[in-house]
A and B are shown apart, each in its own frame.
Chain A
């Protein structure tokens, strides 16, 4: 109803623009002196529209921000990047809105009803998050996201036990925040072992067991990798850490929570990181699971009024916490249904692409999480592939490393060649993805890859049967 009103109004506003068209022909004007600049663009060239090539030229069309027409007239790309973030479930938004409008109290205010009702909301949220991972509500600490939780867990445990234990074990395919925390600890004097992964992305349990020393305080291994979808054998790793006394097991489960069933007691996990915006919740909130029996001691990185068991001081964002709790409740409810559907969509995607495109390599284990499919297309450059697929929201590698030109370190750790790592695409399938979107992306990928390969001389040579690796390139 509201959109109908605004559409009419928008049409009324847009009608004058139809009458005075921008393509009205005028007399040719002689160029003025300010156009003669060689070094810099003249001041009259205010927009970059003149750089726009024809629309049939591949992938280099610059999107001009439309000034008169509303953005609603353009077609938005379909979203297939669920590992970067997920859309917020409308039920979560509905649960959060009361706390944004009338129930705005500080949950730590103990003296009035506003505080009590906000605290009640936060307590319910805590219970929902705890139920999702099989923990007690008192074990859950709300933070600002999985990055903060990873920092808190790794630095907190390491610094608490720094007198007796100076060794930490992690893997090469961890998230950047884990690797960077370990780097900071290395500068503080700790020793860190980065375990390599096998070709399918899973670590070797023998190597892990061999790497554990008497002065190891923490083992940090993520449950589901955000780039390849590989699921690590958390249960076995937890059993190994339990056997050794005093080794705490931390797992970054940001991509796993709500998608695969997790139980912290069955998996023997002592610390777990949960992210709100990966489970169709709001951005800016996460949770840490810190085991109380046997107690895991941490040194907090944020000091203050002692909220959240003293481990994370600061006013709890009751709105975001309620949203995360609702997202966790919905995730628990829908987990089986979503997993079945996502597996089906993932199979449709992979089968569709394999049927139409050759020389496609799947990075990571085939038994990984089906909602994260990482494919490398040989003889196609990754950035040009992404640019040509402007109407599909995809990513190559992970969002946090997409700004740099380096190929993803995760794919390199998996043993992928440089060019294959450059031409990898990560498809993220989620709860709200439809079959039509999958079919559309299969169609677009097939056309784009075949077009790009037709233009590639390497591909010609491969078609003729020449083996690329035997060529000596430095002939000139």
Chain B
């Protein structure tokens, strides 16, 4: 039984949301790119057996991604030089 279009779309948005929630710049960009690339491959896939196996793998990876994002938020996510820096505000009389 091959996965329905709605199921794939729901999994895609869930994985993308998990990828966006990484605090570390490198991991966030990597997982966003990887999720998009994986689901683009899934879109092109014609064989239903392979599609089913890709979908199952994507479900497992989605769970891993959610947990990893939480751990990364707890411990990681220091801002890099290439990211947008938030300007530090100082009082005018100092």
**Do residues B71 and A93 form an inter-chain contact, with CB atoms below 8 A?**
yes
**Do residues B73 and A21 form an inter-chain contact, with CB atoms below 8 A?**
no
**Do residues A391 and B78 form an inter-chain contact, with CB atoms below 8 A?**
no
B14 at the interface (CB under 8 A from A): no
Residues 38-70 of A at the B interface (beta carbon under 8 Å): none
Which listed residue (B27, B79, B91) contacts A90, Cβ 8 A? B27
**Do residues B94 and A21 form an inter-chain contact, with CB atoms below 8 A?**
yes
**Do residues A75 and B81 form an inter-chain contact, with CB atoms below 8 A?**
yes
**Do residues B78 and A71 form an inter-chain contact, with CB atoms below 8 A?**
yes
- Dominant secondary structure of chain B at its interface with chain A: helix
Complex CA gap A392/B74 in Å reads 25
A160 at the interface (CB under 8 A from B): no
**Do residues A21 and B64 form an inter-chain contact, with CB atoms below 8 A?**
no
Nearest-CB residue, chain A, relative to B69: A90
B63-87 vs A, CB cutoff 8 Å, 1 = contact: the mask equals 0110111111110011111110100
Find chain A residues with CB under 8 A from B88 CB: 73
Find chain B residues with CB under 8 A from A79 CB: 26
Find chain A residues with CB under 8 A from B82 CB: 78, 434, 436-437, 440
Nearest-CB residue, chain A, relative to B30: A432
Complex CA gap A433/B29 in Å reads 9
**Do residues A434 and B26 form an inter-chain contact, with CB atoms below 8 A?**
yes
| B32 CB to nearest chain A CB (Å) | 10
Find chain A residues with CB under 8 A from B79 CB: 72, 75-76
| A54 CB to nearest chain B CB (Å) | 19
Find chain B residues with CB under 8 A from A437 CB: 82
**Do residues B73 and A3 form an inter-chain contact, with CB atoms below 8 A?**
yes
Residues 78-115 of A at the B interface (beta carbon under 8 Å): 78-79, 87, 90-91, 93-94, 97
Q: Number of A residues contacting the other chain (C-beta, 8 Å)?
A: 31
| A1 CB to nearest chain B CB (Å) | 7
A18 at the interface (CB under 8 A from B): yes
Find chain A residues with CB under 8 A from B43 CB: none
Which listed residue (A76, A91, A93, A94) contacts B78, Cβ 8 A? A76
B23 at the interface (CB under 8 A from A): yes
Q: Which bracket fits the contact residues of B? A: 20 to 34
B90 at the interface (CB under 8 A from A): yes
Complex CA gap A431/B77 in Å reads 18
Nearest-CB residue, chain B, relative to A341: B33
Which listed residue (B22, B30, B67) contacts A94, Cβ 8 A? B67
A12 at the interface (CB under 8 A from B): no
A293 at the interface (CB under 8 A from B): no
**Do residues B78 and A18 form an inter-chain contact, with CB atoms below 8 A?**
no
B37 at the interface (CB under 8 A from A): yes
**Do residues B81 and A76 form an inter-chain contact, with CB atoms below 8 A?**
yes
A305 at the interface (CB under 8 A from B): no
| A128 CB to nearest chain B CB (Å) | 15
Find chain B residues with CB under 8 A from A3 CB: 23, 73-74, 77
Find chain B residues with CB under 8 A from A90 CB: 22, 27, 31, 64-65, 68-69, 71-72
A470 at the interface (CB under 8 A from B): no
**Do residues B64 and A76 form an inter-chain contact, with CB atoms below 8 A?**
no
Find chain B residues with CB under 8 A from A476 CB: none
**Do residues A432 and B26 form an inter-chain contact, with CB atoms below 8 A?**
yes
A189 at the interface (CB under 8 A from B): no
**Do residues A77 and B81 form an inter-chain contact, with CB atoms below 8 A?**
yes
Question: Known: A23-B94, A440-B82. Contact between A431 and B68, CB under 8 A?
Answer: no
Complex CA gap A440/B84 in Å reads 13
Find chain A residues with CB under 8 A from B27 CB: 87, 90, 432
Find chain A residues with CB under 8 A from B68 CB: 90-91, 93-94
**Do residues B80 and A78 form an inter-chain contact, with CB atoms below 8 A?**
yes
A337 at the interface (CB under 8 A from B): yes
Complex CA gap A3/B25 in Å reads 15
Residues 1-48 of B at the A interface (beta carbon under 8 Å): 22-23, 25-27, 29-31, 37
Nearest-CB residue, chain B, relative to A72: B78
A473 at the interface (CB under 8 A from B): no
Find chain B residues with CB under 8 A from A21 CB: 91, 94
Complex CA gap A440/B26 in Å reads 14
Complex CA gap A410/B23 in Å reads 38
Nearest-CB residue, chain A, relative to B86: A73
| B18 CB to nearest chain A CB (Å) | 11
Complex CA gap A391/B78 in Å reads 14
Complex CA gap A87/B8 in Å reads 30
Nearest-CB residue, chain B, relative to A18: B91
Find chain A residues with CB under 8 A from B78 CB: 71-72, 76
| A281 CB to nearest chain B CB (Å) | 15
Known pairs A1-B73, A90-B22. 20 more at Cβ < 8 A?
Answer: A2-B70, A18-B90, A18-B91, A18-B94, A75-B79, A75-B83, A76-B80, A79-B26, A90-B65, A91-B61, A93-B71, A94-B64, A94-B67, A337-B37, A391-B81, A431-B30, A432-B26, A432-B30, A434-B30, A434-B82
13 contacts between A and B (CB under 8 A): A2-B73, A3-B74, A18-B94, A19-B91, A72-B79, A73-B88, A90-B71, A93-B68, A392-B81, A432-B29, A434-B29, A437-B82, A440-B82
The 10 closest A-B pairs by CB, nearest first: A90-B68, A21-B94, A432-B26, A391-B81, A75-B81, A2-B74, A3-B73, A432-B30, A76-B78, A434-B29
